[in-house]
Amino acid sequence: MRKEIPVQQGEKYEITIKTLGASGEGVGRAADFTVFVLGALPGERVLVRIDEVKKTYARGKLVEILEKSPQRISPACPIYDFCGGCQLQHLSYEGQLHWKRQQVVDAVERIGRLSGIEVLPVLGAKEPWFYRNKMQFPVGRKRGKTVIGCFAKGSHDIIDTRDCRIQKEGNNTIVNVMREVVDRLRIPIYDEDRHTGVLRHVVGRIGENGEAMVVLVTATRDLPKAKEIIRFLKERVPNLRSVQQNIQTYRNNVILGRETKLLWGKPTIPDRIGKLHFSISARSFFQVNTEQAAVLYEKALEYADLNGMETVIDAYCGTGTITLFLAQKAHRVYGIEIVKPAIDDAKKNARDNRIKNTVFLVGDATKLMPHLYHENVHPNVIVVDPPRAGCTETVLKTFAAMHPDRIVYVSCNPATLARDMAFLATLGYMAKEIQPVDMFPQTSHVETLTKLIRKDLL
């Protein structure tokens, strides 16, 4: 017999918020039925109007805070209530770190059904504001005016953003200059409904010493008034080193296309993580929080526990940033990545840093790793940093079949991490410790590092 849902759409209920959900929303219960409430915080008693009802949960709108959390603060950003870029500005930074750790604990216990694993306090940022070195904002028109900024929560409505509090100042400068450029030069703006117009996105990248790159993403191969745009940017953007055009002609939500043209300046800008330096191109993957990336990579190096004699495999190596950190203390590191341009960047990064004990391979880790094993490559340590979907069981079985002493699992999604940890436990690899790192302050995201050890070595 189907259980009757105890809440109704449009009705109001008093709810006590118990925890935070994965997207930063408050989670409570009405008549023992789970309700997600955007903007509510743990410990608060709130009045909620139910907007959406599903079989196992409901979503509600915060109508009134009846009892306020002592960790509630006023958001620093004036457009925070509308913008979808941040989710936790209304929570003190101390509170953010506490609840991000709790998100990891909950995932391990409820999804992984694992116990006895220590989740350490989150390594917070020294500066939780103005940290993003990369910005990619859509361009649109609203009430006859040019708007450039983040999408509103849950929509493609662009919120005009002039002073984003999590972007580096150079990126805010780029946005504001480009808004003026578009209006002055009457650059046609892309209309995603009609698939007409030219300018789709403005991408900004800020490297070492504030050096700036501007990438204009267009729906057409031609960029009208390119010379005037370049002249305007050179006059108004301090430390500008590169202006590029990326061509994205497809009718989809993918931001960058495959072709990029250098319009002025250099094709790359420099940046640095720890002792290593990197050349950042328009399409390079590079951690958006440079300072916290150094914290993350140093911890990965610690968990790898290298003495200079080990062979290491870095699966999903991207542009080789973690690979190069590991290479500083390993005998040899193999980096595997399915995206060829990323491997090209990785090889260049190795050359630029004069690191010679790395081997970068293009391909699917599931196929390449058994091949390496048959070629007598026996890793002592495997490091993996998969996308949010985590690893497939085939990939995890491949890891275990190579019998490494340790697996260092870097994750941006506690839920898929917990799932994969549980599966690795059945393959003989046990997690003893998880270190969360706050790579994205003011947002609901949390990065983690997990050290897994082969059972017979415990």
Query: 160 is written with which tokens?
Result: 């005009």
User: Rounded to an integer, what distance in angstroms lies between the CA atom of residue 134 and that of residue 207?
Assistant: 9
Strand ranges in 40-195 using DSSP code E only, listed in sequence order: 45-53, 57-67, 118-119, 134-142, 145-151, 158-160
Find the Cα–Cα–Cα–Cα dihedral 290, 274, 451, 360, rounded to 10°: 90
Q: How far apart are CA 51 and CA 69, in angstroms?
A: 23
412 labelled catalytic: yes
Under a CB-based contact definition with an 8 Å cutoff, are residues 442 and 128 in contact? yes
Structure tokens given for 364:
């699917």
Q: What does residue 362 show for φ and ψ, rounded to 5 degrees?
A: -95, 130
Calpha distance 109→35 (Å, rounded): 21
Q: What is the dihedral of CA 391, 339, 297, 457, to 10 degrees?
A: 40
Return the residue matching tokens 């006590």: 16
CA 295 to CA 274: how far, in whole Å?
A: 9
Distance CA 316, CA 383 (A): 9
* Residue 91, CA distances (Å) to 39, 242, 255, 387, 443 in order: 9, 37, 31, 27, 10
Tokens standing for 100? 């991000």
Q: What's the rounded Cα separation, in Å, for the pair 245 and 243?
A: 7
Backbone angles phi, psi at 164, to 5 degrees: -65, 125
Q: What is the DSSP string of 112-141?
A: S---S-EEPPPB--S--SS-BSEEEEEEEE
Of the candidates 77, 164, 317, 412, the residue annotated as catalytic is: 412
Q: Which sequence positions are flagged as catalytic?
A: 412
